[in-house]
């Protein structure tokens, strides 16, 4: 069984202009951020699903650190 914690660890270096290239299944925070930026309606759907599955989650906040 694969250890899932690596999916939740931040990747601190994001090169400007290469955001799409750097997205992969191993960086869940970056995937969620790109979903928020490019497909806000799908991001809202994701938040809704998370809140239904995990009622203790109040909000999902992802921001770009510039």
Residue 61 lies in a domain: no
Task: Give the DSSP H or E segment for 53.
Answer: helix 40-53
Residue 62 lies in a domain: no
What range does the domain containing 39 cover?
4-53
**Total domains in the fold of the chain:** 1
CA 31 to chain centroid: 4
Residue 20 lies in a domain: yes
Distance CA 4, CA 19 (A): 23
Each of the 66 residues of the chain gets a pLDDT tens digit; together they read 556 565 556 555 555 655 555 555 567 777 888 889 999 999 999 999 989 999 998 888 888 776
Helix, strand or coil, per DSSP, at residue 50: helix
CA angle 66, 4, 46 (to 5 degrees): 60
């Amino acid at each position: 069984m694969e250890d899932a914690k690596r999916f939740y660890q931040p990747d601190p270096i994001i090169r400007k202009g290469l955001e799409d290239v750097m997205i992969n299944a191993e960086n869940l925070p970056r995937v969620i951020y790109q979903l928020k930026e490019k497909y806000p309606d799908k991001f809202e759907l994701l938040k809704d699903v998370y809140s239904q599955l995990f009622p203790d989650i109040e909000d999902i906040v992802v921001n770009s650190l510039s």
